[in-house]
Structure 1
């Protein structure tokens, strides 16, 4: 009889959760962090503000071709709310919540429709949300279309027809979430395990498959406007993760190499092939975004130390440049993680001053803390109700 490895199940759930709330915002491990927007050569470097609270709790997550930025920030009341800015990070707007205390924005299209997740008005439940153009209104959604209905959901990406990707979860298994236009009509069955992280205007979604019984991760791309997935392979190692896709279907993310390192990768059109982007001299690099010219952004370690440094490549993923070589930051800050790039070459990045753990370790820390917090809240509520 096969024994159930509960530790491995928890580890796998933690890694999947970190795909959306951890590895893309690793600066939670920093003693101090800020968010910035800049041009492709570092020009116009601007630090984002906050929603009235601490600016070190502002995390930029996506930028569109209208130069609007979304993410989350601290309010004057000490809560965390999703935000939308005007062009170039100006005039940050609080998008509110779905009735709970906190919300987080992860994706935006060129019309300004925003997706993310928010606390619901009742305890311990988070719902994916979608807004109208320019962030107007916030509507909860989890299209079922015959799929199982998980209590928690997150919208991670949205294309210009309003097709949304993300995941839903029952706290043990995470299931792909891929919708039709304007977040309607779930295309997937709701039972395919993993996370869909981005989608292009052709309807090609990318992300990571994570079947619990396999104990590994596979980057994937879908056929246009379907949930039919094709695995992308690896850089010679045991796992890969896809984070973004451009108009031609070039996919970026990271993979374990044959030598056991984590390296950023780029594929050819429609996910064909996988090319190692290398590192800035260290053993870890991760690609977080790509534009239609094939410029890739992300972060990498160097030959010494565990710190991460934001990078940008040339068109087609050629070369890897430390963004810190293009700018001068105040207060000895370092651009640590580039989070996204638009078709004008504008980049959003986080900065920090403390080391970050290795990817797998950090995923466990962040998602594990979230899971512990969730269990504690629910246990407290159960005690009160007794």
Structure 2
């Protein structure tokens, strides 16, 4: 009898161990969200993330009389280090590469690059005749792309045209990428082969703008076209040359997000969350896209396009349970980590949103949410407008 009981006990322990391991696996196979903290109680707005989870963006500071400084975190968004200033009083981090080099610009229109892990700010310089330089992305060799404002023939300081540029490794040197034949262009994103994504005016037209992609090292410029309207813009490019952006949607007043195939070939409409609008903000090497989309009731929710459709990130159970609302996602890395900002504990705060390899996606709107309170819309619009603080200082920016 004792032998039989002992055997049953061993079997019970074995089954309990398997069951516990199964539960543990299910617990970790899900979404998770954590706040990145604030700088002295002021909002911290992430804009970019690398594959180790280092984040850059800008923090609002309460201990000095200026609005914000660029920052960098450690891996997985841990810790916040103020990057300080360049020539002006404000700096904004726009992107970060695999070694932790950050690029961005200051409030006087000076682009910068840092060393690894955000160490030191070095001015990028300008194209010949340029008065402002705004850096927007960086690849793993430290090549930076962005937009320079060049003084026009009129000679007036505020009268400028724009040109997309690319630098050499570690931000050395600067090359004008030209246009699609129109009066101006701007570069937005770069991959590790040096393919550049941006936007340009079309030949003979100072109104119509189209997204473009270049070949490796910024050579050549190909028009991506549109989804049937007159306008397309671009937000990101991955290492296969897939681009994401926005385009006028044929026959409607709406703008939809799109994704292309490798090397910018083809343009596929990503749709919306039931409303008329969507805006893609980032893409990773798996072709997963993040952005903001309108719901059927006119609200705006963060989304990830993965596994064949859009998942509404604002409705994920861990997000709701943790009390996060009005999410805006800016970037996604190759490990499924996303950064952005949202409303949490009565303040605007940056977050790191992640999923595990065995997370089950539900690529469609889960349900039509109730109409948000007016103050929620105001917070969302305010958050979207934060990055415009410096943009307004770009004088009369063409692109």
> How does the TM-score come out when normalised to structure 2?
0.73
SS of match in other structure, 1:101: coil
- Using the alignment, how far apart are the partners of 2:395 and 2:195 within structure 1? 33
> Is the contact between residue 96 and residue 103 of structure 1 (CA under 8 Å) also seen in structure 2?
yes
2:191 aligned with 1:209? no
Distance 1:78 1:312, change over 3 A: farther
Q: 2 CA distance for matches of 1:366 and 1:296?
A: 23
Q: Which runs of 5+ in 1 are unaligned?
A: 1-38, 120-124, 376-386
Residue in structure 2 matching 1:151, options 118, 121, 131: 131
Alignment partner for residue 290 of structure 2, among 294, 297, 311? Answer: 297
Measure how far apart 1:59 and its partner are: 1.0
Q: Please state whether the residue corresponding to 1:253 is helix, strand or coil.
A: strand
Please say if 1:354 is aligned against 2:376: yes
Other-structure match for 2:113 = 130
The 10-residue stretch of structure 1 (170-179 or 224-233) with the greater mean CA deviation from structure 2: 170-179
1:169-180 to structure 2, matched below 5 A, reads 169-170=149-150, 172-180=160-168
2:72 is aligned to 84
Pair 1:237–1:243, CA change in 2 (3 A): same
Does residue 61 of structure 1 match 2:47?
A: yes
C-alpha separation between the residues in 1 aligned to 2:295 and 2:217?
39
The SS at the match of 1:355 is: helix
Give 1 or 2: higher strand fraction: 2
Segments of 5+ residues of structure 2 without an aligned counterpart are 1-27, 151-157, 344-374
CA deviation string 1:226-279 (max 9, x = no partner) = 242101010111100111011111100110111231000000000000000000
Structure 2 residue 16 is the aligned partner of structure 1 residue 42: no
Q: 1:236, 1:256 within 8 Å by CA — same for their partners in 2? A: yes
The residue number in structure 2 matching 1:12 is: none
Counterpart in the other structure of 2:59: 73
How far is 1:357 from its partner? 12
1:257 to 245, 249, 261: 249
2:314 — aligned with what? 324
Q: How many residues align?
A: 319
Q: Residues 51-92 of structure 1, C-alpha deviation per residue, up to 9 Å, x if partnerless?
A: 32512xx21000001110000001222421000011222110
SS at match of 1:343: coil
Give the conservation status (yes or no) of the 8 Å contact 1:298–1:339: yes
Taking the aligned partners of 1:93 and 1:210, their CA distance within structure 2 comes to 38
Q: Secondary structure at the residue paired with 1:173?
A: strand
Contact 1:310–1:336 (CA under 8 A) maintained in structure 2: yes
Q: Is the 8 A contact 2:126 2:132 kept in 1?
A: no
Change (3 A) 1:78 1:346: farther
1:268 matched to which residue of 2?
A: 261
| Alignment CA distance shift 1:346-1:140 (3 Å) | same
Q: Is the 8 A contact 1:143 1:184 kept in 2?
A: no
Residue in 1 aligned with 2:189? 198
**Cα distance in 2 between the residues matched to 1:197 and 1:369:** 14
Deviation for aligned residue 1:356: 6.8
Relative to structure 1, the CA distance from residue 40 to residue 295 in structure 2 (aligned partners, 3 Å threshold; closer, same or farther) is farther
Q: How far off its partner does 1:354 sit?
A: 3.1
Match of 2:92? Answer: 104
Q: CA shift at 1:109, angstroms?
A: 0.3
Distance change >3 Å, CA 274–CA 135, structure 1 → 2: same
Q: Is the 8 A contact 2:190 2:197 kept in 1?
A: yes
CA deviation after TM superposition for structure 1 residue 50, in Å: 2.8
Cα distance in 1, alignment partners of residues 189 and 391 from structure 2: 25
Q: Distance in 2 between matches of 1:40 and 1:132?
A: 36
Q: Which residue of 2 aligns with 1:22?
A: none
**3-state DSSP class of the match of 1:233?**
coil
Q: Which residue of 2 aligns with 1:240?
A: 232
